């Protein structure tokens, strides 16, 4: 049977939700953290000539009050502005309902003034009136003089504020290797060993493989490896934990000590805290085992810890929650949010009738992009402000008394409270932080699941974790609390929780099992 292909037209009417580029930009900016938002704004400043940062100085603001049209991402007085009506609908349709305020003075069209930047710069700087002879006499380039005469020296950054590159483990070891008396061949072997260490300072590549790679004998690699293991930090270059700990004890001159014997022969028993078995195997009293275990606990199991890891990330809070009288006030962190304005010069160029059509069209498109960016930043601030106020409403007991009074809260509760969708609340709380009387917390921290209590009320999971942490901190070192014991104690506090739930929360807190927490008195 032959197949027959026909072409035809089919007319259908259907509804479809289309996200405009402006709406996509607003959603993207909403979920950005403050450092990411700053990077996006800086990128826009580099590519959009219609935008420039708004100077916070009083003189700059006074000088431009009559000529510039400010576009602020956040209100100047720190209080949130009233929400604009039908804002989501306008965003979804891709329309811009931005209009200047009634008190703003519109930019006048400059038709007779030539938009010559050089002329304006010469008029402002009064270069034609500068006495060059007096300038050369007072500001000589003679660097041999006794006076520095540079007024910028006082404003330069001090040495402590200068950015430096963090020293890596490889750099630290290579510096010591170059200072050693090894010959060129051993230096090459040592450099290969150093650059094969992992972030913890361990050598995971077998010696035979390194020897084949370097086309030398395994004896030479092993000899240089022992030399590397004597460098700082002690224990670096080890192939396992036993070798790492023993190298540190050897560096302290304790090769024949009880601690060294435990590390070499009974490290597995020490890990399980079986001190009695260690004492019987070595024929020493329990007190000596405890003293040796204390020495071993002071050693560093990861020698490269101090040189590994990423640079510390500093948290900048988006909102401040402070108690004023009997109420908690939410204040936006305006200092961290970029404030922008339209460039006055390019506005005059755009309104100049002598400018080309292509130039005017380009500047108009850049102005629309600038206004949408500022509008998106403004909406981001307003959404975070509403979410923070709703969190304060639901979690007032936490701000009064701490984590022990944290209540169960889900995104749906806040979404219904402020009239937004749950996905919007999720984006508004991602990577956003609040400075509270109890410390700095991520906004997502306040959304937590609940555990049923005996009185019928739900208790926050974070509250249960805090109780478990407190119980473990106050337990006896010789008889630590088991998960079942912790569950029974919590039941006495009207918190019905199973043993496996206690184990799950304990693991989330990074607390070892009771068998690993046992210590000798």
Q: CATH number of the domain that 272 lies in?
A: 1.10.10.1330
* Helices within 48-125 (DSSP H only): 58-63, 87-93, 117-125
Residues 257 and 184 in one domain: yes
Do 241 and 288 reside in the same domain of the chain? Answer: yes
Element of type H or E holding 327 = strand 327-332
The answer to the question of residue 290 being in a domain is: yes
The verdict on 272 and 358 lying in the same domain is no
Q: How many domains does the chain have?
A: 3
92 in a structural domain: no
Pairing of strands 340-342, 51-53: antiparallel
**How confident is the model over 295-339, as pLDDT tens digits?**
999 999 999 888 876 667 778 899 999 999 889 999 998 887 778
At 481, which CATH number? 1.10.10.60
Residues 233 and 321 reside in one and the same domain:
no
Q: Are both 384 and 401 inside the same structural domain?
A: yes
Q: Is 462 a member of any domain?
A: yes
pLDDT at 193: 93
Q: Is residue 54 included in any domain, yes or no?
A: yes
pLDDT in the model for residue 2: 60
* In the predicted structure, residue 28 carries a pLDDT above the cut 80: yes
| Structural domain ending residue among the three candidates 391, 419, 443 | 443
Residue 449 pLDDT: 80
pLDDT tens across 178-198, in order? 998 889 999 999 999 999 999
106 found inside a domain: no
What percent of the chain shows pLDDT beyond 90? 26
Q: Are residues 435 and 456 in the same domain?
A: no
Place of tokens 């953290």: 33
CA dihedral of 364, 368, 371, 375, whole degrees rounded to 10: 170
Helix (H, G, I), strand (E, B) or coil at 321: strand
> Are both 178 and 301 inside the same structural domain?
yes
Most confident stretch, 77-81, 366-370, 395-399: 395-399
| 140 pLDDT more than 50 | no
In the Cβ-directed half-sphere of 430, how many Cα atoms lie within 13 Å?
14
Beta bridge partners of 329: 322
* Contact (Cβ atoms closer than 8 angstroms) between residue 29 and residue 338: no
Q: Are residues 324 and 432 in the same domain?
A: yes
In terms of domains, do 435 and 327 share one? yes
> How far, CA to CA in Å, does 77 sit from each of 239, 335, 435, 460?
61, 12, 19, 37
In sequence order, the 6+-apart residues with CB closer than 8 A to the CB of 213 are 192
Answer yes or no: do 387 and 404 share one domain.
yes
Higher pLDDT, 38 or 96: 38
What percent of the chain is predicted at pLDDT more than 70?
Answer: 75
Helix (H/G/I), strand (E/B), else coil: 320: strand
Instruction: Tell me what the pLDDT averaged over the chain comes to.
Output: 78
Both structure tokens of 65: 């009050």
- What pLDDT, on the 0 to 100 scale, is given for residue 129? 56
Residue 388 and residue 275 share a domain: no
Are 316 and 252 found together in one domain?
no
The per-residue pLDDT for range 146-181, each reduced to its tens digit, is 444 455 555 555 555 555 667 888 999 999 999 988
Q: Which one of 443, 473, 508 terminates a domain?
A: 443
Residue 190 domain-assigned (yes or no)? yes
* Secondary structure of residue 307 in the 3-state scheme: coil
Q: Quote the domain boundaries for residue 407.
A: 19-79+311-443
Which residue, of 263, 285, 306, is where some domain finishes?
A: 306
pLDDT tier at 82, thresholds 50, 70, 90 = very low
Provide the pLDDT for residue 345: 82
Residues 390 and 418 sit within 8 Å (Cβ to Cβ): yes
pLDDT tops 70 at residue 54:
yes
Let me know if residue 25 belongs to a domain.
yes
Give the pairing type, strands 340-342 and 433-436. unpaired
């Amino acid at each position: 049977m032959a197949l027959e292909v026909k072409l035809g037209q089919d007319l259908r009417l259907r509804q479809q939700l289309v996200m405009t580029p402006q709406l996509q930009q607003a959603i993207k900016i909403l979920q950005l953290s403050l450092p990411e938002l700053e990077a996006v704004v800086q990128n826009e400043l580099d590519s959009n000539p219609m935008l420039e940062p708004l100077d916070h100085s009083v003189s700059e603001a006074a000088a431009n009050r009559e000529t510039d049209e400010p576009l602020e991402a956040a209100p100047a007085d720190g209080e949130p502005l009233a929400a604009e009506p039908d804002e989501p609908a306008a965003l979804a349709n891709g329309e811009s309902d931005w209009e200047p305020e009634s008190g703003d003075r519109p930019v006048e069209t400059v038709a007779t003034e030539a938009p010559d930047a050089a002329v304006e710069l010469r008029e402002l700087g009064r270069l034609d009136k500068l006495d060059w002879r007096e300038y050369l006499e007072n500001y000589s380039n003679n660097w041999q003089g006794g006076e520095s005469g540079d007024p910028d020296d006082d404003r330069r950054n001090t040495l402590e504020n200068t950015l430096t590159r963090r020293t890596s483990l490889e750099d630290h070891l290579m510096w010591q290797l170059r200072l050693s008396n090894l010959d060129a061949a051993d230096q090459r072997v040592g450099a290969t060993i150093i650059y094969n260490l992992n972030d913890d300072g361990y050598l995971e590549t077998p010696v035979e493989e390194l020897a084949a790679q370097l086309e030398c004998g395994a004896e030479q690699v092993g000899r240089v490896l022992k030399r590397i293991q004597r460098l700082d930090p002690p224990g670096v270059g080890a192939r396992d934990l036993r070798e790492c700990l023993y190298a540190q004890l050897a560096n302290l001159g304790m090769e024949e000590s009880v601690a060294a014997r435990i590390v070499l022969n009974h490290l597995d028993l020490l890990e399980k805290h079986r001190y009695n078995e260690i004492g019987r195997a070595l024929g020493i009293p329990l007190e000596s085992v405890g003293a040796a275990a204390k020495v071993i606990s002071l050693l560093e199991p990861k020698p490269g810890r101090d040189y590994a890891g990423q640079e510390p990330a500093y948290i900048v809070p988006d909102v401040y929650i402070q108690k004023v009288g009997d109420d908690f006030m939410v204040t936006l962190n305006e200092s961290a949010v970029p404030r922008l304005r339209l460039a006055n010069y390019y506005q005059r160029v755009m309104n100049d009738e002598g400018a080309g059509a292509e130039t005017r069209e380009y500047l108009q498109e850049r102005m629309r992009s600038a206004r949408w960016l500022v509008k998106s930043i403004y909406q981001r601030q307003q959404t975070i402000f509403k979410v923070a106020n709703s969190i304060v409403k639901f979690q007032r007991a936490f701000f009064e008394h701490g984590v022990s009074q944290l209540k169960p809260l889900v995104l749906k509760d806040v979404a219904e409270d402020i009239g937004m969708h749950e996905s919007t609340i999720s984006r508004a709380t991602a990577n956003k932080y609040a400075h509270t009387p109890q410390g700095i917390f991520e906004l997502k921290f306040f959304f937590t699941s609940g555990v049923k209590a005996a009185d019928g009320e739900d208790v926050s999971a974070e509250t249960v974790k805090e109780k478990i942490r407190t119980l473990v901190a106050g337990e006896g070192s010789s008889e630590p609390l088991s998960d079942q014991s912790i569950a029974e104690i919590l039941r006495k506090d009207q918190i019905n929780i199973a043993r496996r739930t206690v184990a799950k929360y304990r693991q989330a807190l990074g607390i070892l099992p009771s068998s690993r927490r046992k210590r000798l008195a």
